Amino acid sequence: MLEDELTVSTRERDGVAIIDLFGDITTFAEEKINNAYREVTNQGARFVLLNFRQNDYINSAGIAILIGIVTEVSRNEQKLAVSGLSQHFQKIFRMVGLAQYAEIYQDEDEAISRFKRLT
Amino acid sequence: MPFDVKAMGDETAQREPVEKVIELRLPSRLGYERVAMDTASALARRMGFHTDRVESLKTAIGEAVTNAIEHGNQHDAATKVVVMLTARDAELIVQVADQGRKPLDQECTTRQPQIAERLERDDKGGWGIWLIRELMDEVEFSTAPSGGNQVRMVIHLER
The answer to whether B31 faces chain A, any CB pair under 8 Å, is: yes
Q: What is the ipTM of this complex?
A: 0.92
Average pLDDT over every residue of B32-50: 97
Asked if A67 and B119 come within 8 Å (Cβ–Cβ), the reply is yes
> Residue B78, class by beta-carbon neighbours within 10 Å (0-12 exposed, 13-18 middle, 19+ buried)?
exposed
What is the C-alpha to C-alpha distance for residues A117 and B24, in angstroms, rounded to an integer? 50
| CB A116 within 8 Å of CB A81 | no
Nearest CA in chain B to A2: B31
B3, part of any domain: no
Instruction: Tell me the pLDDT tens digit for each residue of A51-73.
Output: 999 888 999 999 999 999 999 99
One pLDDT digit (tens) per residue for chain A, 119 residues: 566 689 999 999 999 999 999 999 999 999 999 999 999 999 999 999 999 998 889 999 999 999 999 999 999 999 999 999 999 999 999 999 999 999 999 999 999 998 877 65
Laid out side by side, the sheet with B80-87 consists of B21-27, B80-87, B91-97, B149-156, B138-143
| CB B31 within 8 Å of CB A3 | yes
- The domain total for chain B is 1
Domain boundaries, chain A: 20-80
The CATH number of the domain holding residue B70 is: 3.30.565.10
Residues found in chain A: 119
B1, part of any domain: no
Q: What is the pTM of this model?
A: 0.90
Residues in A closer than 8 angstroms to B35, CB to CB, are 2
Asked if B31 and A1 come within 8 Å (Cβ–Cβ), the reply is yes
Q: Which domain holds residue B57?
A: 8-156
What is the C-alpha to C-alpha distance for residues A54 and A67, in angstroms, rounded to an integer? 20
Q: Which residues have a Cβ under 8 Å from the Cβ of B34 and sit 6 or more positions away? A: A2, A57, B62
Give the B window 46-105 contacts with A, CB below 8 Å. 52, 55-56, 58-59, 62-63, 66
* Chain A, chain B: beta-carbon pairs less than 8 Å apart: 69
B77, part of any domain: yes
pLDDT at B62: 98
| CB B33 within 8 Å of CB B86 | no
- In the three-class reduction of DSSP (H, G, I as helix; E, B as strand; rest coil), residue B28 is classed as coil
